[in-house]
């Protein structure tokens, strides 16, 4: 059974560097570590320095990329206060988006406001939305029952 995905760790990067130095192929390295050769190739391609693979800088590059992968909160600061104030006045996210465009404020899309409303931070402002929202249809799968053909 295949294992769940885990990021490469410092030890594995050390092994990759050593085996590359000893001229092992990517598939041999992958087999040794229990990883896909494409994982080893991506690691080598992304984290090499001037065409060579060094494990310590590679680990630093990977860690910095992990930090960059976090999406910043889009509704924050003064814009958050304005959005919350207008929502409390029963403005729709579409109206807030349009008003910010007209006033020349940095735009906030309605497609940014709705996820904010359905996050724990903005959940208290959901009650100010005008409509009931979209109803989510429950998907219920009926259990399969086998019936034998009647051969009378």
Q: Look at residue 29 in the predicted model and tell me its pLDDT.
A: 95
- Taking the chain (152 residues) in runs of 10, the rounded mean pLDDT of each run is 75 94 94 93 90 91 80 76 92 92 86 89 89 70 73 67
pLDDT of residue 69: 66
Tell me the angle at which helices 37-47 and 26-33 cross, rounded to the nearest 10 degrees: 110
Residue 62 structural domain: 10-68
- In this predicted structure, what is the pLDDT of residue 79? 85
149 belongs to a structural domain:
no
Return d(Cα 65, Cα 42) in angstroms, integer: 14
Rounded distance between C-alpha atoms, residue 86 and residue 120, angstroms: 19
pLDDT of residue 1: 41
Q: Does residue 29 form part of some domain? A: yes
In a domain, 120, yes or no: yes
> Could you give the residue ranges of the DSSP H alpha helices within 50-105?
55-68, 77-88, 93-103
Domain-terminating residue out of 44, 68, 92: 68
pTM given for the model: 0.48
């Amino acid at each position: 059974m295949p294992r769940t995905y885990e990021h490469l760790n410092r030890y594995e990067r050390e092994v990759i560097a050593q085996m590359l130095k000893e001229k092992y192929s990517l598939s041999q390295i992958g087999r040794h570590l229990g990883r896909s050769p494409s994982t080893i190739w991506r690691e080598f391609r992304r984290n090499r320095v001037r065409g060579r693979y060094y494990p310590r800088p590679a680990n630093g590059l990977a860690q910095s990329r992990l930090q960059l992968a976090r999406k910043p909160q889009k509704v924050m600061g003064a814009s958050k206060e304005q959005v919350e104030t207008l929502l409390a006045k029963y403005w729709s996210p579409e109206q807030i988006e349009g008003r910010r465009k007209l006033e020349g404020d940095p735009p906030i899309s309605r497609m940014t406001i709705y996820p904010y409303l359905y996050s724990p931070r903005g959940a208290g402002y959901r009650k100010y939305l005008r409509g009931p929202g979209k109803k989510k249809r429950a998907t219920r799968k009926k259990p399969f029952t086998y019936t034998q053909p009647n051969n009378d």
